[in-house]
Amino acid sequence: MRDILNITNGDSAVGIMRKAKIPGVFLPWQDVLHEGPVPAGLSLDDLSQVRADFIISRGWGSPEEIKRSFIERDNELKSSGQYKKVILWFEHDLYDQLQLLQLLDWFHRNKLKETRLSIICIDHYLGMHTPAEMAALIKYEKPVSNQTLTLSSKAWSAFRSDTPRRWYELLKTDTTALPFLEQAITRLLEEYPASTNGLSRTAQQVLKIVDQGVNQPGALFRRYQQSEERMFLGDSSFRVILHELSGSTPSLLELTGGSELTSPPAQDQELAVTEAGKAVLSGKINWLDMVEPDRWLGGVHLKPGNTWCWDSDTCSLVKSSR
């Protein structure tokens, strides 16, 4: 048997692990599961095809490379029984917690016979560690318990459900086996349209920050990251939100210095909140009265006739009549 398979959240962490001389093979589990469809009833391979198609639709790489990376990733996971030990290295934020649920659910359904499964899950960002700090994290390694596997499968199934109620109901259950799950559950619920104005928490934060005078896209992203208790959104996903807010009719954001956001942002590009944006931000207008929702959150497809909203005052879900 081979010695160790280290599975973690992306290439940045893998690069630091290699510099830290962490022993074993490295598998970055890269997928923005908080965006796009993650429907129930699909095998790992079939779900990866859905996820690859979504990422291709975003323009985040060549179709061939994206499809190949998912196939290679999944094949390495399926070979995990060839290792003496698998270590899951993950963080506390929504991005990592969803990846962790997917992996733990897979291990729950695909029992390892002789391979030991352990986890290192921390409350700070792996990609911000020095090699020495990364090497020191091994002291947090612990075996994955049956309780953790059972909870993960329950949560992963709830995330992929076509209704958000099961995900919401997790807040009423004991989630201590995954100490960072509760906040991840709430943070995803906050991405549903707000019952007051139809904006997700992220979209609302963007408008607020621009309205406060931070209007250059790069500076805006940095300020937005500071507004998150646990950062999870990458810059590519952030630009999608800026495009949605500036591309709606009427638009909530307007862009000077060209009609297209560039990456990196051009020096002359600045954003401003439109009058419609100010009206939505203040709650005078609901954005859902201006646009038709078409967005996936896990297994839930938000669309006309199936629009769920989050009431932050009562911390509850509301089925919209729209």
Number of structural domains (the chain) is 2
- 66 residue type, one letter: I
109 and 249, same domain (yes or no): no
143 and 270, same domain (yes or no): no
Q: Does any domain span residue 31? A: yes
Instruction: Give the C-alpha separation, 10 to 223, whole Å.
Output: 23
pLDDT single digits (tens) 64-106:
999 999 999 999 999 999 999 999 999 999 999 999 999 999 9
Per-residue confidence (pLDDT) for residue 2, from 0 to 100: 81
Q: Residue 227: pLDDT above 80?
A: yes
pLDDT single digits (tens) 129-166:
999 999 999 999 999 999 999 999 999 999 999 999 99
Q: Residue 280: pLDDT above 70?
A: yes
pLDDT single digits (tens) 299-315:
999 999 999 999 999 99
CATH number at residue 210: 1.10.10.10
Q: Does any domain span residue 211? A: yes
Per-residue confidence (pLDDT) for residue 257, from 0 to 100: 66
Instruction: Give the C-alpha separation, 117 to 245, whole Å.
Output: 43
Residue numbers of the domain that contains 254: 201-292
pLDDT single digits (tens) 166-199:
999 999 999 999 999 999 999 999 999 999 999 9
Instruction: Give the C-alpha separation, 14 to 270, whole Å.
Output: 35
Sequence-ordered list of residues with C-beta below 8 angstroms from that of 182, at least 6 positions apart, any chain: 171, 175
**Rounded (5°) CA angle 96-72-45:** 75
